[in-house]
Every structure is written in C-alpha cells, then in structure tokens.
Structure 1
C-alpha cells in the first residue's frame, strides 16, 4: 500500500460536503486511516457559525503552530502519510506550508471544480475599484510565499489531482510551471462524478418545474469570513422573487430552489415567498428540471453535464454590490452560448431556444473531466492511487 494514512487539512471546520467530496468514508473503508486537521483557530478568531461535522471522522483541532509541529513530530511514518490540502494556495498559508515542508510531508491538492473566469477590467477606475486593504495585504503575504519558495522553505506540491484541462487553476495562485514537476493524476470535478452516478437513473417525478441554483448570496458566511463586499438581503430576495413571478407566469411552471448547503436560515425562515426550497438534491433536481436559472454558481456543472438549458441572471444591486459575480454572470453566458438578463428587466424571459452543444462540450473537457476519466468515478481513481505502490 502506497499510503496507510490520509490527513486532510483545512482552515475551516469539517462539513458533510467536504467529507463526501474528498471521499473520507471510502478511504476509511479501504482500510486507510483518515484524520481531519482543523486549523481554523490558527487563522480566524471564530468560525462564524459554519457547520461543524467533525464527528464524522477522527478530527484534531489545532490552536497554534506549535501544537501542529508536535503532531507532526508524533507521526511515526510520515513517508506513508498523504496530506491533502483543502485550502487555496495564497498568502495566508505561508507559515503552515513552511512547517509542512520542514517535516518533508507529502503534500497533495485537488485542482478541480474550476470554471471560466472573466478578465478583470484594466481601466484605471476598474483597477482602483479592486484595490482594497485586504487585496494589498494578500499581495504582500503572497510575495513572502514566493520568497519562501525561492529559499527552499516551501516546496511545490508533490501530487496534484486535476479535473479537466484547466482544473489546475482552482488550486490558487499557481501557474503551470508550479505543478509541472508534480505527479499529476487525472480526476473529475465532484459535480461530474455526481452526474455519472445519476445519469442512467429514470425519472420518477411527475411534476415539471424550473430550477434555481441558489448561492445564499446576501448571507453566505464566506463573505464575512473573507471580508467580501455583498448585496443586502432586503434588496436581493424581493427582486429575485419578483423575477421568479414573471418566469412562472411566462412558462406556466413553478420555480424550485436548490438551496446552497450553507443556507441554514432557509430552514427556519421563508426567503422565497413560499416556493419549495430543497437541500442536498441539486444534482437530482437538475436532471429532471425543464431548464435552470443561475448567477455564477459552480453547480452550473450539473445542467451542462445533463444537457439542460441555462439562463443567467444579475441585477444592478449585484453589479454595484458584488461586481465579480456580475462579471461572472456575463462571462458564463457568453462562454456557454447562453443568455443573461437583469432581474429588474420587465421584458420576457429570453431563454435560449437551442442547446449550445459545442460550447457545453468545450466546458466539459476544460473543467469537468477528461477523455481518460469521463466514465470513471474519482473516488475509485483516488482509492486506487492510495493503494497501489
């Protein structure tokens, strides 16, 4: 067996999605020891009420780098331990990666679940608008990371699991040169794997509906955690519901909400004027939907895989509050050959008439899978990799 232990490390508490997406149960079932190293307390003052499912696996919580070093000192066979980083490669990870390099840990990362990104505007005001204190601080931090790399204090990733030709872009601030010497293993995006599991299932639903891929935009905890500018809930939801009213009137079908997994307030409050809100069934809901409405959710992987028409929406509030989402909406629509619309546009819903198959195919192999893995599950590829010498 190549590895007898896998340690997942992340600066957020374990969630059920992370547990599933990184195959922790499957790795355990294969006879390989699994640990989750929660280093949230080292990076953030609190976890902002993020779901904590640490009971699912042996979880170790670290509150200082010295505790982390002690744990590494206590590992008897580090050469047989695979570390899976579930963090973006950027400035804040410098000291952590210096420690992992110091102990010559075998470090891996999954580069997948990426999607096409627009080129930021290069006008003076466009650049000025993106210059924030946090941006400057992150830039300074990353310069220190680069300095540590040059001095040999931080090594490159040993192993990279890549989903799609451009999946590596999801690793963080790395280029192709940064991973060229890493062992590269082709995998799929986790959404594509879910598609493989469902693609042959027969439709048992009798009701027809239109699906909205919710992103919990005004209330997402990451906007607080990473100090991201946002829209106000009191502006966003009424405008969204008004748009859904027009959609339902035009197509004669209800809009169903595929809830974001972190949208905990949806469970106790009605944000969608009584519309059906469903958790943890985005893939299934997409498979049977008539068409799909979205902003810039990574779950657009599902309608692309299942061959569903996509319709993108934005608003002036989104454009002014979270410009990046607005730019993504426009870029996604153009890239995929779909249409987009402002929610306050009183004209009819301009849904595409024909599915843009060529664009969907290009997206598939760029961001979801490869010709080698399009009929394989990543969990099987990952387990085989861990076991085979």
Structure 2
C-alpha cells in the first residue's frame, strides 16, 4: 500500500461530523492505522466550549510545538504516513507548516465544500470595522505566501478536489499553487449524501417547505473567530413572522432543518412551535416542495435534487453581517433564483422553475466531476490510499 498510516491534524477537537466527513472509520476498516492530532492548545486558549468526540479514534492532544515535533520524529516510517490537514491554509498555520516542512511530511488537504461567494469589500471599506486580530493574520498570511514562494514552506503533496473550483476552499492559494501537486477528484460531502439517497423511494413529497437553518445569531464559530453577528431577539421574531406569511401564501407548513450546532433548539422554542429536525437535511430536502435559505452550504442538497430555492435576507442582516447579505444576493444571481427581504411584507416571489443550466454549472464547479458523480468519495479515497505507487 502507498500509505500505512493516516494522521489528521486540526486546531479543534475531533467532532462526530469530522470523524464521518473524513472517512476515519472506513480508513481503519481498510487496514490503515488512523490517528487524530488535536492541536487546539497551539492555537486557542480554551476548548471547553467545543464538542470533543476524541473517543471515536486514537487521538493525541498536542500541547506544545516541542511535543508536536517529538511526535513527528517518533514515527518509525514517516514516508508511509499521510498527514491530512483539516485547517484553512492561511497565516495562523505558519509555525506548524514550517515544522511539517522540516521533516518533509507527506501533506494533503481536501479542497471541497466550496460555494460561490460574493466579493469582499476592499480593505479601505472595511477599515472602520476591522479588528486587530484580523490585521495581524493578514500580515501573517502575506508572510506565508512569501515563504511558500521561496520554498521555505512546502506545498501540499496531494489535494483532493471536489468540483473544478473546490480548490478555493483550501485557503490563500490560486491556480498556480496547484501546479506540480498530485490532484485527486472527489465529491463534496453534501453530494456524497445525495448519492446515498437519490434512488431511494420518497415516503412523502411536497407537503412542506424547508428552511435551511444556520443558527445565525448563535453559531459558536462567531465567538471562536470573533465574527460580528446579529442579535437573536432581532432575528427570530422577524423570521417567524415571515414564515407565517409563507405558510399562508402556499398553504404548507415550514419545517426547520436545524444546524447541527444549534444546541439551544433542543431545549428552547425559537420557531413558534414549528417542527425542528436535526441531522436529516438531505432527506428533508428530497421531499420538500421548495427550500428557503440564507447562504447555507446545505443549498448543495436542493441543487442536487433540482429543488426551487428562495433566498432571504433582512435589513438587520445587511447592517449586522453584511457578508451574509451579499452572499444571499450572489447565490440568487448565480443560480437564477429570487431573493427577498423578510422584513418587507411583499408576496413571496418564488421562481416558477429552476434554471437547469445554472444548477448544472454549480454542480460541476462545486460538487462533483464527470468522473466521480456516480461514485462516493469514501471509495475513491480508500482506493487511492491503498494503491501502490
């Protein structure tokens, strides 16, 4: 086999989703050794508020760069080890990647689960709201690019790409970065989930409208990465008022596909008694009449199932988290869908039919390829790991 051991590295504790999305169980069943190196202590002061599912696989919690180096050096057959980075390639990883470069570790990354994002404001436009941490990381990122160009930090040896534009999800790279790197075509997570269900019979269909929830005011990443957000007391009442109008116009209930991190939904009623469902977004999408969304990556599902999508924003979102607002408009334009301010009282302007050409373009740009669209990534990945050079 090409590799005997896979080491996943990340600056957060292991979660059940990461365990599943990166095929750790399948890799172990294929006969390869698997470890997860939790580098949280190298990047954050505390991880007490994060999910920790480290019991799912052999996990090492690394507390210093010295300890990390000792673990790398202790690998008896380093040339047969593949490191898979589950981190964004940007300024904060400089010290880590210098160490991986020092020992010429075989390094790989998944470039997938990307979607069309609206262009960012210029630095001058953002300067009033910019944080010191953002400025520091911007300079670190420029330094990282310089070190890569000088050959002092190695490029990835292998990239697993979902869609022709999946590479955009890796971090601060461009197409030139990919030259000379081994590329393996795979699918997005959501497209793989779609493959599992696309040929199954539907139990029921078209008797509800689905909202792809993002836990928008309460998402823990906004705290972790110091991201500006909107207030829950502004967001949920306005959203529920909008759903009331949607239900009246279409004579169908709105069902909430809960974000997996929306833990407060399990004990509090944020949606005025509406049905809230966890971990069934793909099934719910397949059977929905149409889908309502902001800029959730879960729009992969309605695109795969050829469902109408209605994008929503609000004045509070525009003023509080403008990037989400601009993504909503960009999504709608990219896919040929409509968008609406939920704080307006206009009739819901759902499209009459989907734009097949736009949906297909999205599919091959961000979800899959002609070579992989009928094969799950888990099989592609395992076949790659086990093949001989």
Category of TM-score, reference length = shorter chain: over 0.9
Match of 2:98?
98
Contact 1:6 1:34 (C-alpha < 8 Å) held by counterparts? yes
Match of 1:112?
112
Match of 2:234?
235
Distance 1:5 1:264 in 2: 34
Distance 1:272 1:236 in 2: 11
Distance 2:82 2:27 in 1: 12
SS in structure 1 at match of 2:127: helix
Distance 2:161 2:68 in 1: 28
TM-score, normalization by structure 1: 0.97
Match of 1:257?
256
Match of 1:327?
326
**Residue correspondences, number:** 388
Distance 1:294 1:130 in 2: 26
Match of 2:222?
223
Match of 1:351?
350
Match of 2:80?
80
- Give unmatched runs, 5+ long, in structure 2: none
CA pair 206-300 structure 1, distance change in 2 beyond 3 A: closer
Distance 2:270 2:328 in 1: 22
Contact 1:10 1:40 (C-alpha < 8 Å) held by counterparts? yes
Match of 1:318?
317
Distance 2:2 2:129 in 1: 45
Match of 1:140?
139
Contact 1:50 1:262 (C-alpha < 8 Å) held by counterparts? no
Match of 1:50?
50
Distance 1:128 1:96 in 2: 29
Match of 2:177?
178
Match of 1:18?
18
Kindly provide the CA deviation profile for residues 106-126 of structure 1, in whole angstroms up to 9, marking residues without a partner as x. Answer: 0000000101111234595x3
Kindly provide the CA deviation profile for residues 364-389 of structure 1, in whole angstroms up to 9, marking residues without a partner as x. Answer: 01000111111111000000000001
Q: C-alpha displacement at 1:164, in angstroms?
A: 0.5
Distance 1:129 1:220 in 2: 24
Contact 1:212 1:255 (C-alpha < 8 Å) held by counterparts? yes
Q: C-alpha displacement at 1:129, in angstroms?
A: 4.8
Contact 2:313 2:341 (C-alpha < 8 Å) held by counterparts? yes
Match of 1:372?
371
CA pair 152-218 structure 1, distance change in 2 beyond 3 A: same
Q: C-alpha displacement at 1:134, in angstroms?
A: 2.7
Distance 1:104 1:332 in 2: 40
CA pair 66-6 structure 1, distance change in 2 beyond 3 A: same
Distance 1:82 1:208 in 2: 47
- 1:38 and 2:38 correspond: yes
Match of 2:65?
65
CA pair 48-258 structure 1, distance change in 2 beyond 3 A: farther
RMSD over equivalenced CA pairs, Å: 1.3
